[in-house]
């Protein structure tokens, strides 16, 4: 974390008696994105947001986001304050109640750096055995179903000459492909890595082959370009999905895969013939 940013946060924490601890996960921080976790004994979100904003100059926008996390099968919500600056930096602060701090920190990767701990407060201990959760079989099955359902719908929209709707649905399909790639990454690194927020770790964790194939799933608004990207997505999804199914001992729905691709090829040929 950049020294000037970390120093502002440390100085602020020392002056706020409600703050018990501030820390960050190293892998979530780089030159443009900074994310901290603030543990507070008293949470008045509007007050904390105003104090956080006042730490920085040239602020463009402050956005408040509600997030959820599961701890011991119970779901809890917390607030994250996203702050965007003119110097091309986003600084995020997730506000965690001190009642949940010990359980919450165990849900995070172990590469944690503490910026502040209140004198006399009990130290927070990261979970040394942390691992990203492996996918459950029903989740894997639903990802496969969702992907091919969206693939069919993209083709239906293209049949209607509705490229905008097809392109938007391609975004949903690509998210299911990302979900499959996440399964692959967690499995590849034995739970030690995932794709990161917004997939920012994909470039570092995917093999060159998978990365190149994934990049080819993006397209312009031309109907044939959308179809070509759709086929690329289907090929990559099949390649990754079947490999992960074999590794995890899950069933991969080959029947839906084959029937969907047959439909897509037929519709593509009709469109190509019409355009020519």
120-176 confidence digits (pLDDT tens): 888 899 999 999 999 999 999 999 999 999 999 999 999 999 999 999 999 999 999
The torsion angle over the Cα atoms of residues 227, 169, 215 and 193, rounded to 10 degrees, is -140
Task: State the pLDDT at residue 271.
Answer: 87
Span(s) in the chain for CATH 3.30.460.10: 3-117
Q: For residue 159, what pLDDT is reported?
A: 93
Under 8 Å CB-to-CB from 152, ≥6 apart: which residues?
260, 263, 264
Q: Where do you find CATH 1.20.120.330 in the chain?
A: 137-275
pLDDT of residue 121: 85
Residue 86 CB neighbour total at 10 angstroms: 10
pLDDT at 275: 72
Note the pLDDT of residue 211: 95
The CATH classification number of 137-275 equals: 1.20.120.330
What is the reported pLDDT for 73? Answer: 83
Structure tokens at 214: 């994934």
The Cβ-side half-sphere exposure at 92, using a 13 Å CA radius, reads 21
* Angular region, 182: left φ>0, alpha ψ -120 to 50, beta rest: alpha
Which CATH number, 2.120.10.70, 1.10.3720.10, 3.30.460.10, 1.10.3470.10, labels domain 3-117? 3.30.460.10
pLDDT attached to residue 72: 83
Which residues of the chain register pLDDT less than 50? none
Which residues face 61 on adjacent strands? 84
Q: What is the pLDDT of residue 276?
A: 66
Nearest to 260 by CA among 150, 161, 175: 150
């Amino acid at each position: 974390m950049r020294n000037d940013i970390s120093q502002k946060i440390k100085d602020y924490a020392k002056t706020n008696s409600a703050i018990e601890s501030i820390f960050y996960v190293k892998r979530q921080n780089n030159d443009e994105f900074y994310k901290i976790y603030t543990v507070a004994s008293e949470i008045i979100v509007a007050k904390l947001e105003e104090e956080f904003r006042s730490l920085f100059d040239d602020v463009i926008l402050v956005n408040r986001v509600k997030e959820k996390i599961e701890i011991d099968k119970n779901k809890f919500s917390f607030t994250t304050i996203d702050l965007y600056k003119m110097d091309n930096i986003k600084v995020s602060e997730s506000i965690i109640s001190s009642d949940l701090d010990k359980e919450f920190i165990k849900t995070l990767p172990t590469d944690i750096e503490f910026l502040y701990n209140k004198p006399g407060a009990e130290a927070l201990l990261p979970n040394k055995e942390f691992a990203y959760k492996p996918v459950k079989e029903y989740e894997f099955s639903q990802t496969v179903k969702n992907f091919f359902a969206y693939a069919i719908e993209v083709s239906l929209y293209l049949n209607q000459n509705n490229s905008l709707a097809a392109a938007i649905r391609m975004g949903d399909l690509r998210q299911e492909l990302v979900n499959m790639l996440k399964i692959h990454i967690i499995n590849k690194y034995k739970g030690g890595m995932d794709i990161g927020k917004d997939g920012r770790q994909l470039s570092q964790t995917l093999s060159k082959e998978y990365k190149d194939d994934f990049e080819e799933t993006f397209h312009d608004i031309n109907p044939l370009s959308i179809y070509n990207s759709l086929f690329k997505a289907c090929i990559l999804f099949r390649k990754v999905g079947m490999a992960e199914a074999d590794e995890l001992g899950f069933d991969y729905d080959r029947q839906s895969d084959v029937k969907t691709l047959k439909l897509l090829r037929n519709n593509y040929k009709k469109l190509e013939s019409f355009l020519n």
